[in-house]
Chain A
Amino acid sequence: MTIETELRDEMNDRAAAITLPDDPWLGFHHREVRHRRHRRARIGVAAAALAGIVGVQSGLLPVPGWAPTVAVASADDALINSPVRGSLAADTAWQEGLRAVPEDKQDPTELWRVVDRDTVRVLYAGDVGDRRVALAYVSYRFGLLTDPQIVWFDGPRGATPQQMSERGNLDAARQGASLIDTSADGPGIAVVVGPQGSTATIGTGTPVTGVPGSGLAEAVLAPQAAEPTITGTLTSDGRTVTVPGTTGWTTTE
């Protein structure tokens, strides 16, 4: 078999595993309207701030945490304003500790700093199998630009906040997020978090659905010989959407 044929087969198989929404227009239109609204707001703010942009954006002038900025993306209010879910939902001390964990991000030419750790909001924290997992809303700033993100963290079961590591991040405009982490050598985990009021499902061979309306589904997954295709979904008002997320599959010899 030639490399071209192998590559074609592999790409076709990978692509075929992507699930598609019944009507992509609805989701696209919803997000486009939101983006358009925020773009208009940004243009207004940008015009007002134009005079100070050059000095601040270049890093010559420091920006205090309370200073108004231009958001390069919006956040999904329903998700961000939902109560904390997970087995550590009542452990406010642990959640407080997690606020110190998000790190500034070095893009090739830009340093995106965590805006204000007081604004870091834990959306989910809990132990699943032998892992401790958390999801938090974190806003990053580069000069006058802010970029709200939802960030996954993980660590060993029972980990302190300082033992947690960042696993991945998504635009906070998302309705929800999933972390699906599997392994060939041991159990994996899957967590789907959405707004309270929605019902979360993990699409394994036998789907795992969380408590209806909780916006949360958690599962310990059996070892997977090959990288599986597992998706998280959220159902609300009879509409089901696939939740984007961070995935990983590992194997050791």
Chain B
Amino acid sequence: MRPDDDGFPEFVRQQWGPLLRSAYLLTGDRSHAEDLVQAALEKTHRKWRKVAAMDAPTAYVYRVMVNTATSWRRRRSWGEIPQLPADTARADDPYEQIEHRQQLYAALRKLPPKMRAVLVLRYFQDMSEADTADIMGCSVGSVKSQASRGLQRLRDHLDTTDLRFTADNLLGSRP
């Protein structure tokens, strides 16, 4: 059997898309997401014989990816200098809804990596709390509390932004 016939190429073909999309939400940057998926799959490849025999090889690669994302972020903290949209919007703006969503995404990017990972796994991957806990290597209680605190931070960020629109509009400070 050729090394490439061990099922790993097919695994990469099937999982690259879902992994890349999750990695993009974890990192907020496409190139870093690609590097992250590459790193996670390379680590998985090295143990593929063992991983392929597992009940859920996909869970394993997600676990590797989330763990790598945390350390990756630490190492690459100086890497990208993204320009986030300004955290302001206008209530009478025809693009209000779009800007509201932009604010939500910007707030997600500001969350600590592990908290963001919990939200990505729970609300993008639609994983159960138990599966998320398994991938994150923590308890179900910890997932519940990280998700709850993460959502609260997003709400707080949006509330602050909305209050700012209202105050600005009342003061007529906008043209």
Contacts and interface: CB of A to CB of B under 8 A. Distances in A.
A112 B77 CA distance: 12
A12 B125 CA distance: 9
Q: Which of A18, A171, A248 has the most CB of B within 10 A?
A: A18
B6 interface: no
B20 A170 contact: no
Contacts of B9: 25, 29
Interface residues of B, number: 52
A32 B42 contact: yes
Given A18-B21, A106-B78, A3 B151 contact: yes
A244 B31 contact: yes
Interface residues of A, number: 51
B90 interface: yes
A42 interface: no
A105 B78 contact: yes
Nearest to B83: A248
A3 B155 CA distance: 7
Contacts of B149: none
Contacts of B119: 7
B16 A10 contact: no
Contacts of A248: 82-83
B142 interface: no
B86 A168 contact: no
A253 B174 contact: yes
A225 interface: yes
A107 B85 CA distance: 25
B81 to A, nearest CB: 5
Interface string A150-179: 000000000000000011111100100000
29 contacts: A7-B108, A10-B101, A10-B104, A11-B25, A11-B108, A13-B101, A15-B21, A15-B25, A16-B21, A18-B20, A18-B21, A18-B33, A20-B16, A28-B41, A32-B42, A105-B78, A108-B77, A166-B81, A168-B81, A170-B79, A171-B35, A225-B95, A226-B98, A245-B30, A247-B29, A250-B83, A250-B85, A253-B86, A253-B88
